Amino acid sequence: MVSAAGLSSRSPVGKRASSSGVLAREKVETGKYEKAGKNMLKDLVAVRSEFRPLEATPPFLEYLADESARLESASPEAIIAWGVEHYAPYLTMATAFGPEGCVILSMLARIAPETYVFNLDTGYQFQQTLDLRDRIARKYGVEVDMLQPELTVPEYEVKHGGPLYKTNPNQCCFDRKIKLLQTGVREKHAWMSGIRRDQSADRARAPIVGWDEKFHLVKISPLANWTKQDVWKRILAEDVPYNPLHDQGYPSIGCWPCTRAVLEGESDERSGRWSGSAKTECGLHTLAEQDGSGI
Protein backbone atom coordinates (compact mmCIF):
# COMPACT_ATOMS: atom_id res chain seq x y z
CA MET A 1 0.00 0.00 0.00
CA VAL A 2 1.14 3.52 -0.62
CA SER A 3 0.11 6.90 0.65
CA ALA A 4 -0.74 9.83 -1.56
CA ALA A 5 2.78 11.10 -1.10
CA GLY A 6 4.04 8.04 -2.92
CA LEU A 7 1.80 8.64 -5.90
CA SER A 8 1.92 12.33 -6.50
CA SER A 9 4.88 13.95 -8.12
CA ARG A 10 4.58 16.47 -5.29
CA SER A 11 4.31 15.41 -1.66
CA PRO A 12 1.17 16.48 0.24
CA VAL A 13 3.27 18.79 2.37
CA GLY A 14 5.06 20.25 -0.62
CA LYS A 15 1.82 20.80 -2.46
CA ARG A 16 0.23 22.57 0.46
CA ALA A 17 3.22 24.84 0.87
CA SER A 18 3.46 25.75 -2.78
CA SER A 19 -0.17 26.31 -3.69
CA SER A 20 -2.02 27.18 -0.51
CA GLY A 21 -4.60 29.82 -1.20
CA VAL A 22 -3.81 30.15 -4.88
CA LEU A 23 -6.59 28.00 -6.27
CA ALA A 24 -9.15 29.65 -4.04
CA ARG A 25 -8.36 33.01 -5.54
CA GLU A 26 -8.27 31.84 -9.10
CA LYS A 27 -10.96 32.81 -11.52
CA VAL A 28 -11.73 29.67 -13.41
CA GLU A 29 -11.24 29.69 -17.11
CA THR A 30 -12.53 26.43 -18.48
CA GLY A 31 -10.13 26.42 -21.40
CA LYS A 32 -7.20 26.50 -19.05
CA TYR A 33 -8.37 23.32 -17.32
CA GLU A 34 -9.14 21.63 -20.62
CA LYS A 35 -5.52 21.89 -21.68
CA ALA A 36 -4.16 21.20 -18.22
CA GLY A 37 -6.32 18.12 -17.81
CA LYS A 38 -5.38 16.59 -21.14
CA ASN A 39 -1.67 17.19 -20.71
CA MET A 40 -1.66 15.98 -17.13
CA LEU A 41 -3.53 12.83 -18.01
CA LYS A 42 -1.12 11.97 -20.85
CA ASP A 43 1.91 12.36 -18.61
CA LEU A 44 0.42 10.61 -15.63
CA VAL A 45 -0.68 7.52 -17.56
CA ALA A 46 2.95 6.95 -18.48
CA VAL A 47 4.24 7.51 -14.93
CA ARG A 48 1.61 5.59 -12.95
CA SER A 49 1.59 2.26 -14.68
CA GLU A 50 1.43 -0.05 -11.69
CA PHE A 51 -1.60 0.04 -9.42
CA ARG A 52 -1.11 -0.02 -5.68
CA PRO A 53 -4.02 0.71 -3.33
CA LEU A 54 -3.96 3.84 -1.20
CA GLU A 55 -3.57 3.60 2.53
CA ALA A 56 -5.56 5.88 4.80
CA THR A 57 -2.67 6.87 7.05
CA PRO A 58 -3.24 9.74 9.51
CA PRO A 59 -0.95 12.09 7.49
CA PHE A 60 -2.84 11.22 4.32
CA LEU A 61 -6.20 11.90 5.96
CA GLU A 62 -4.83 15.20 7.25
CA TYR A 63 -3.61 16.03 3.77
CA LEU A 64 -7.06 15.30 2.29
CA ALA A 65 -8.75 17.46 4.93
CA ASP A 66 -6.36 20.33 4.12
CA GLU A 67 -6.91 19.96 0.40
CA SER A 68 -10.66 19.81 0.90
CA ALA A 69 -10.58 23.04 2.92
CA ARG A 70 -8.44 24.68 0.25
CA LEU A 71 -10.82 23.58 -2.50
CA GLU A 72 -13.91 24.88 -0.70
CA SER A 73 -13.98 28.02 -2.82
CA ALA A 74 -12.69 26.44 -6.02
CA SER A 75 -14.94 25.92 -9.02
CA PRO A 76 -16.14 22.41 -9.94
CA GLU A 77 -13.81 22.52 -12.97
CA ALA A 78 -10.85 23.24 -10.71
CA ILE A 79 -11.85 20.43 -8.35
CA ILE A 80 -12.13 17.98 -11.26
CA ALA A 81 -8.74 19.13 -12.55
CA TRP A 82 -7.34 18.53 -9.04
CA GLY A 83 -8.71 15.01 -9.17
CA VAL A 84 -7.15 14.39 -12.58
CA GLU A 85 -3.83 15.85 -11.52
CA HIS A 86 -3.59 13.71 -8.41
CA TYR A 87 -5.29 10.45 -9.33
CA ALA A 88 -5.53 9.84 -13.07
CA PRO A 89 -5.49 7.24 -14.49
CA TYR A 90 -6.85 5.75 -11.26
CA LEU A 91 -9.72 8.22 -11.13
CA THR A 92 -13.26 7.24 -12.00
CA MET A 93 -16.77 8.61 -11.86
CA ALA A 94 -20.08 6.94 -11.11
CA THR A 95 -23.19 8.49 -12.57
CA ALA A 96 -26.91 7.81 -12.48
CA PHE A 97 -27.37 10.54 -15.11
CA GLY A 98 -28.93 12.95 -12.64
CA PRO A 99 -28.67 16.67 -13.39
CA GLU A 100 -25.47 16.91 -11.35
CA GLY A 101 -23.90 13.92 -13.09
CA CYS A 102 -24.74 15.34 -16.52
CA VAL A 103 -23.12 18.65 -15.59
CA ILE A 104 -19.96 16.93 -14.34
CA LEU A 105 -19.85 14.85 -17.53
CA SER A 106 -20.02 18.05 -19.59
CA MET A 107 -17.05 19.41 -17.62
CA LEU A 108 -15.13 16.13 -17.69
CA ALA A 109 -15.53 15.98 -21.46
CA ARG A 110 -13.48 19.18 -21.66
CA ILE A 111 -10.96 18.40 -18.93
CA ALA A 112 -10.25 14.66 -19.11
CA PRO A 113 -12.58 12.81 -21.48
CA GLU A 114 -10.55 9.62 -21.12
CA THR A 115 -11.72 9.20 -17.53
CA TYR A 116 -13.51 5.91 -16.92
CA VAL A 117 -17.18 6.66 -16.12
CA PHE A 118 -19.71 3.99 -15.20
CA ASN A 119 -23.39 3.63 -14.41
CA LEU A 120 -24.98 1.12 -12.06
CA ASP A 121 -27.36 -0.46 -14.53
CA THR A 122 -29.60 -2.24 -12.05
CA GLY A 123 -32.05 -3.41 -14.71
CA TYR A 124 -34.71 -1.24 -13.08
CA GLN A 125 -33.72 2.14 -14.57
CA PHE A 126 -36.21 4.22 -16.52
CA GLN A 127 -35.94 4.03 -20.30
CA GLN A 128 -35.45 7.82 -20.30
CA THR A 129 -32.34 7.33 -18.16
CA LEU A 130 -30.93 4.70 -20.52
CA ASP A 131 -31.62 6.98 -23.51
CA LEU A 132 -29.76 9.80 -21.79
CA ARG A 133 -26.58 7.75 -21.90
CA ASP A 134 -26.71 7.85 -25.71
CA ARG A 135 -27.57 11.55 -25.81
CA ILE A 136 -24.53 12.32 -23.63
CA ALA A 137 -22.31 10.13 -25.81
CA ARG A 138 -23.51 11.88 -28.96
CA LYS A 139 -22.98 15.36 -27.53
CA TYR A 140 -19.72 14.87 -25.62
CA GLY A 141 -18.20 11.66 -26.96
CA VAL A 142 -18.11 10.25 -23.42
CA GLU A 143 -19.20 6.61 -23.40
CA VAL A 144 -20.51 5.68 -19.97
CA ASP A 145 -19.93 2.01 -19.14
CA MET A 146 -23.17 0.32 -18.05
CA LEU A 147 -22.21 -2.13 -15.30
CA GLN A 148 -24.80 -4.86 -14.85
CA PRO A 149 -25.46 -7.26 -11.95
CA GLU A 150 -24.64 -10.92 -12.29
CA LEU A 151 -28.33 -11.86 -12.47
CA THR A 152 -30.81 -10.28 -14.86
CA VAL A 153 -34.01 -8.86 -13.35
CA PRO A 154 -36.08 -11.99 -14.22
CA GLU A 155 -33.37 -14.29 -12.81
CA TYR A 156 -33.09 -12.20 -9.66
CA GLU A 157 -36.83 -12.09 -9.08
CA VAL A 158 -37.19 -15.84 -9.61
CA LYS A 159 -34.36 -16.44 -7.13
CA HIS A 160 -36.07 -14.31 -4.47
CA GLY A 161 -39.64 -15.36 -5.17
CA GLY A 162 -40.60 -11.93 -6.51
CA PRO A 163 -39.27 -8.39 -6.63
CA LEU A 164 -36.94 -7.90 -3.67
CA TYR A 165 -37.37 -4.11 -3.80
CA LYS A 166 -40.82 -4.66 -2.28
CA THR A 167 -39.69 -6.74 0.66
CA ASN A 168 -36.01 -5.99 1.23
CA PRO A 169 -34.90 -2.89 -0.71
CA ASN A 170 -31.63 -2.66 1.23
CA GLN A 171 -30.60 -6.09 0.01
CA CYS A 172 -31.78 -5.21 -3.51
CA CYS A 173 -29.67 -2.01 -3.49
CA PHE A 174 -26.72 -3.95 -2.13
CA ASP A 175 -26.94 -6.65 -4.79
CA ARG A 176 -27.73 -4.38 -7.73
CA LYS A 177 -25.89 -1.16 -6.85
CA ILE A 178 -23.24 -1.49 -4.14
CA LYS A 179 -21.68 -4.62 -5.63
CA LEU A 180 -21.51 -2.90 -9.02
CA LEU A 181 -19.86 0.14 -7.49
CA GLN A 182 -17.30 -2.15 -5.90
CA THR A 183 -16.58 -3.47 -9.41
CA GLY A 184 -16.42 0.02 -10.95
CA VAL A 185 -13.91 1.32 -8.42
CA ARG A 186 -11.69 -1.77 -8.46
CA GLU A 187 -8.06 -0.73 -8.93
CA LYS A 188 -8.97 2.93 -8.58
CA HIS A 189 -7.66 5.51 -6.13
CA ALA A 190 -10.46 8.05 -6.36
CA TRP A 191 -14.05 8.39 -7.50
CA MET A 192 -16.19 11.40 -8.28
CA SER A 193 -19.85 11.76 -7.55
CA GLY A 194 -22.44 14.47 -8.09
CA ILE A 195 -23.71 14.84 -4.53
CA ARG A 196 -24.63 18.30 -3.25
CA ARG A 197 -24.64 19.28 0.40
CA ASP A 198 -28.11 20.81 0.19
CA GLN A 199 -29.71 17.56 -1.00
CA SER A 200 -30.16 15.94 2.38
CA ALA A 201 -28.97 15.89 5.97
CA ASP A 202 -26.79 12.86 5.14
CA ARG A 203 -25.02 14.79 2.40
CA ALA A 204 -24.70 18.09 4.25
CA ARG A 205 -21.41 17.00 5.81
CA ALA A 206 -19.79 15.83 2.57
CA PRO A 207 -16.28 17.24 2.11
CA ILE A 208 -15.05 18.36 -1.30
CA VAL A 209 -12.47 15.59 -1.09
CA GLY A 210 -12.24 13.01 1.63
CA TRP A 211 -11.54 9.38 2.38
CA ASP A 212 -14.38 7.01 1.54
CA GLU A 213 -14.17 4.41 4.26
CA LYS A 214 -16.72 2.15 2.67
CA PHE A 215 -14.93 1.76 -0.65
CA HIS A 216 -11.38 2.58 0.51
CA LEU A 217 -10.59 5.35 -1.92
CA VAL A 218 -10.66 9.11 -2.18
CA LYS A 219 -14.10 10.55 -2.86
CA ILE A 220 -14.34 13.81 -4.79
CA SER A 221 -17.55 15.87 -4.87
CA PRO A 222 -17.03 18.75 -7.31
CA LEU A 223 -20.59 20.04 -6.84
CA ALA A 224 -20.78 19.72 -3.06
CA ASN A 225 -21.08 23.50 -2.74
CA TRP A 226 -23.47 24.04 -5.62
CA THR A 227 -27.19 24.53 -5.20
CA LYS A 228 -29.92 22.99 -7.30
CA GLN A 229 -30.28 26.41 -8.98
CA ASP A 230 -26.56 26.47 -9.84
CA VAL A 231 -26.89 23.08 -11.52
CA TRP A 232 -29.94 24.00 -13.58
CA LYS A 233 -28.47 27.35 -14.54
CA ARG A 234 -25.50 25.54 -16.07
CA ILE A 235 -27.72 22.93 -17.77
CA LEU A 236 -29.84 25.60 -19.42
CA ALA A 237 -26.91 27.89 -20.28
CA GLU A 238 -24.95 25.13 -22.01
CA ASP A 239 -27.83 22.98 -23.23
CA VAL A 240 -26.53 20.00 -21.26
CA PRO A 241 -28.71 16.92 -21.99
CA TYR A 242 -30.91 15.95 -19.01
CA ASN A 243 -33.56 13.40 -18.16
CA PRO A 244 -37.00 14.51 -19.47
CA LEU A 245 -38.59 13.05 -16.33
CA HIS A 246 -37.31 16.12 -14.49
CA ASP A 247 -39.92 18.11 -16.42
CA GLN A 248 -42.61 15.69 -15.23
CA GLY A 249 -42.22 16.14 -11.47
CA TYR A 250 -39.25 13.88 -10.78
CA PRO A 251 -36.46 15.99 -9.23
CA SER A 252 -34.50 12.90 -8.18
CA ILE A 253 -34.51 9.77 -10.33
CA GLY A 254 -33.38 6.29 -9.42
CA CYS A 255 -34.88 2.91 -10.27
CA TRP A 256 -38.48 3.09 -11.46
CA PRO A 257 -39.96 0.86 -8.73
CA CYS A 258 -38.49 3.10 -6.02
CA THR A 259 -39.07 6.53 -7.55
CA ARG A 260 -42.23 8.57 -7.83
CA ALA A 261 -42.95 12.16 -8.80
CA VAL A 262 -42.96 14.59 -5.87
CA LEU A 263 -46.33 15.84 -4.74
CA GLU A 264 -47.43 19.40 -4.39
CA GLY A 265 -46.15 20.81 -1.11
CA GLU A 266 -43.22 18.37 -0.85
CA SER A 267 -40.10 20.48 -0.61
CA ASP A 268 -37.54 17.70 -0.20
CA GLU A 269 -36.29 16.89 -3.71
CA ARG A 270 -35.59 13.31 -2.62
CA SER A 271 -39.05 12.70 -1.14
CA GLY A 272 -39.99 10.67 -4.23
CA ARG A 273 -37.24 8.11 -3.51
CA TRP A 274 -38.27 4.98 -1.55
CA SER A 275 -41.45 6.83 -0.72
CA GLY A 276 -43.40 5.34 2.17
CA SER A 277 -40.35 3.70 3.74
CA ALA A 278 -37.67 4.94 6.13
CA LYS A 279 -35.03 4.33 3.46
CA THR A 280 -33.54 7.52 2.01
CA GLU A 281 -30.27 6.38 0.47
CA CYS A 282 -29.10 3.28 -1.39
CA GLY A 283 -25.82 2.99 0.49
CA LEU A 284 -23.37 4.55 -1.94
CA HIS A 285 -22.89 7.72 0.05
CA THR A 286 -23.32 6.53 3.61
CA LEU A 287 -21.17 4.41 5.86
CA ALA A 288 -23.90 2.08 7.07
CA GLU A 289 -24.68 -0.78 4.70
CA GLN A 290 -28.36 -0.75 5.51
CA ASP A 291 -29.10 2.73 4.35
CA GLY A 292 -27.54 4.73 1.83
CA SER A 293 -28.31 6.91 -2.58
CA GLY A 294 -28.25 7.80 -6.02
CA ILE A 295 -25.27 9.20 -7.72
Catalytic residues: 282
What is the residue type of 108?
Answer: L
Q: State which residue, 85 or 291, has the beta carbon closest to ligand SF4.
A: 291
Strand bridging mode 190-192 / 209-212: unpaired
Catalogue the E-assigned strands of 45-111.
Answer: 91-94
| Inter-CA distances, 140 with 68, 91, 102, 113, 277, Å | 28, 19, 10, 9, 38
Q: Residue 115 or 125: which CB sits closer to ligand SF4?
A: 125
Number of C-beta neighbours around residue 211 at 10 A:
17
Give the residue with the Cβ less far from ligand SF4, 65 or 261: 261
Distances from the Cα of 151 to the Cα of 175, 176, 177, 185, 262, angstroms: 9, 9, 12, 20, 31
Considering the complex, state which of residue 36 and residue 261 has its C-beta at the smaller distance from ligand SF4: 261
Of 58 and 276, nearer to ligand SF4 (C-beta) is 276
We find the least distance from the C-beta atom of residue 275 to ligand SF4, in angstroms, to be 11
Alpha carbon separation from 288 to 50, 60, 67 (Å, rounded): 32, 23, 26
Instruction: Read off φ and ψ for residue 147, nearest 5 degrees.
Output: -85, 130
How many Cβ atoms sit within 10 Å of the Cβ of residue 246?
16
> Which residues of the chain form contacts with ligand SF4 (CB under 6 A)?
122, 124, 165, 169, 172-173, 176-177, 254-255, 257-258, 282
Q: Which residue is nearest to ligand SF4 (CB)?
A: 255
Residues in the chain, overall count: 295
Q: Is the peptide bond before 89 cis (omega within 30 degrees of 0)?
A: yes
- Report d(CA 163, CA 33) in Å as an integer: 46
Amino acid at 293: S
